[in-house]
DNA sequence: TGACATTAGTTGCGAGTGTAACTATTTCTT
DNA sequence: AAGAAATAGTTACACTCGCAACTAATGTCA
């Protein structure tokens, strides 16, 4: 099924040259992220009744206090429609409140209500514990490498996407 | 510690860990996987006109030749409805063909058509090149660590999900 | 000032997804 | 052998998402 000519190997990046899905990094990353999200969603959803976008909004406001929807989106890397819907849902549930900005009436300043703050205070330790249990299987060296690797890959991928845009 | 007040939420020690979204592994993994998928989708979609699930089916059949939908799902870690829809779409486009299995009429044996094989042969090198360009920013040591880290994290996450199921 | 461009945020819409229910077939149990 | 359980695969449904279009407000510039 696969070509076995020696001069092909040089041009292929995987160790043995053929495309194996389970060794293909984009696939591996996707499977891992999905798996981790599913596990974590059990805490988000079943224990606190919120979605992942809502969780990101809560985590961002919990960390920074008062922000606009745009700032939340930038900080948590979410599309503005995702932020808009998560904010609307949290507000409907009384976990977040908007305050008009008199200096610029296009935007609204958002912050957690007392109820939203309670959720954040309860959820944050659980989330940190989950992350801790996740990384506890890694060696000290691997654990330190991981943060660096993730940042490098994300930046590289962004650059590649730009390159593909220009040529495609 | 000596001046800590009971309501001082911003001064948790680094050891306990303040929850910072951009340092939270599940978030980082999700952002990275999304970014990589978006980049790679430019090759899948714009250059060859197929979706990610379709790409996974093509890659699996390209590697193994003839399989059932269930086997494809197991190998590529896709839900059976995702496989079903991707297979139906590929078949409609003449890129895949089904053959009834006379030994078990519930299942069908699937394989790429000549046209599907052409896509695989063209796409696989591009995909490998993309992965190569992605990992080229990593040091040799980090690159080797990455595969190991991903496998360990995925297994750990699966175990944690089971634990959460039982307790939650 | 007045016309045009830009920005924050919302919403309609189409595409994709997982759950649950369903069909058709095979296997198990007695 | 007959009914029950299990299995491969499909489909209806509800939900999520991003794009594009939209509203409302602000900024730009002649």
For the stretch A29-49, pLDDT in tens is: 999 999 999 999 988 888 889
**Bridge partners, residue B67, by sequence:** B110
Q: Are A75 and B21 in contact, with CB atoms under 8 Å apart? A: yes
pLDDT grade, residue A9 (50/70/90)?
Answer: very low
Mean pLDDT of chain B: 88
Domain-by-domain residue ranges, chain A? 21-130, 139-168
How far apart CA B121 and CA B117 sit, in angstroms, is 6
CATH topology of domain A21-130: Arc Repressor Mutant, subunit A (1.10.10)
- pLDDT of residue B66 exceeding 80, the answer is yes
Q: Give, in Å, how far the C1' of D3 lies from the CA of B68.
A: 29
The stretch A4-23 carries a mean pLDDT of 57
What kind of architecture, by CATH, is found in domain B20-137? Orthogonal Bundle (1.10)
Residues of B in contact with A153 (CB under 8 A): 32, 36, 134-135, 137-138
> A38-42, A74-78, B6-10, B109-113: which has the minimum mean pLDDT?
B6-10
* Dihedral sign from CA coordinates of B84, B86, B89, B92: negative
- pLDDT tens digits, residue range A99-117? 999 999 999 999 999 999 9
Strand D closer than 7 A to residue B105 Cβ: no
Closest CA to A8 of B38, B117, B21, B124: B124
- pLDDT of residue A8 exceeding 60, the answer is no
Which residues neighbour A17 within 8 Å (Cβ) at sequence distance 6 or greater?
A2, A8, A9
- Which residue of chain A comes nearest to B34, CA vs CA? A30
Nucleotides of strand D lying closer than 7 angstroms to a protein CB: 7-12, 16-20, 24-27
């Amino acid at each position: 099924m696969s070509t076995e000519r020696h001069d092909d190997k040089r041009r292929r990046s995987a160790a043995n040259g053929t495309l194996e899905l389970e060794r293909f990094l984009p696939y591996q990353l996707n499977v891992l992220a999905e798996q981790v999200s599913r596990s974590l969603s059990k805490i988000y959803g079943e224990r606190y009744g919120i979605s992942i976008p809502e969780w990101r909004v809560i985590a961002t406001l919990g960390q920074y206090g008062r922000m606009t929807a745009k700032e939340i989106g930038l900080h948590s890397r979410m599309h503005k429609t995702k932020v808009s819907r998560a904010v609307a849902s949290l507000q409907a549930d009384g976990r977040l409140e908007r305050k008009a900005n008199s200096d610029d009436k296009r935007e609204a300043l958002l912050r957690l209500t007392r109820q939203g703050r309670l959720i954040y205070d309860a959820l944050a330790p659980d989330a940190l514990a989950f992350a801790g249990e996740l990384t506890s299987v890694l060696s000290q060296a691997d654990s330190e490498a991981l943060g660096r690797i993730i940042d490098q890959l994300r930046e590289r991928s962004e650059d590649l996407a730009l390159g593909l845009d220009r040529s495609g």
